[in-house]
Amino acid sequence: MSASHRALNPLRENLQLLGRFLKLIQLLQHCFLLFQRTNAICAIDLDTILPCYIVSGLKKIPRIYDAHELFCEMKEIVERPIIYKCWKWIERNTVPHFKNGYTVNDILASEFRKLYAVQYKVIRNLPILKDIKPRTHKGQYILYQGAVNEGRSFETLIPAMQWVDSTLIICGDGNFMSKARDLVKAYQLESKIIFKGSIVPSALWKYTQDADRNYII
């Protein structure tokens, strides 16, 4: 890989995130939300909060924030100063105006309370409880299920599989997928690490049941 190609990769990633920010701004040019009959409006994470904030103000209806993560603290945001400043500006100028909201655990609820003096309720993100019978046979593999994103420790997990006598199955997709595949090739682990991509819940349930071990982060 040439030096110029390596230099272009971070630039391309920055442009992609900047494009996401610009798409958010473009949403403000559309009047869809303004012409919907609704009693309240809910912003799902920070990347939808700005149009929801403006439209709820224009229509004078309650606004709710689904704050399932600290968006600005994600690795792909923190490591890009310009992108970080843009999203942080949006967060500081909108979240305090969303007095009604919810998040996924007490730690995040406490952070939002400290940062923006909002009292968000906790709604835990848990699977539906099912009765299962103990299996006599387990698959000889480790299962990862979820987003294949920056900050999920794939840089450590994938090389570690060199010394693990098992197969790793990865169910999911995300912004680290291409780098994860490159790591597998770099460490010649194609026979030990299998990417399944995004799969339907019924298939995921079977993989979970049959796994020898599960990797969770």
> What are the pLDDT digits (tens) for 170-217?
999 988 899 999 999 999 999 999 999 999 988 888 888 888 888 876
This prediction's pTM: 0.67
State the pLDDT at residue 6: 46
If DSSP states are collapsed to H, E and C, what string results for 27-61?
HCCCCCHHHCCCCCEEEECHHHHHHHHHHHHHHCC
> What are the pLDDT digits (tens) for 154-172?
999 999 999 998 999 999 9
Q: Which CATH architecture has domain 141-215?
A: 3-Layer(aba) Sandwich (3.40)
Q: Which secondary-structure segment (H or E) carries 134? A: none
> What are the pLDDT digits (tens) for 30-55?
566 777 788 999 999 998 898 889 88
Residue ranges of domains in the chain = 10-122, 141-215
Distance CA 215, CA 107 (A): 22
Per-residue exposure over 126-135, b if at least 16 CB sit within 10 Å of its own CB, e if not: eeeeeeeeee
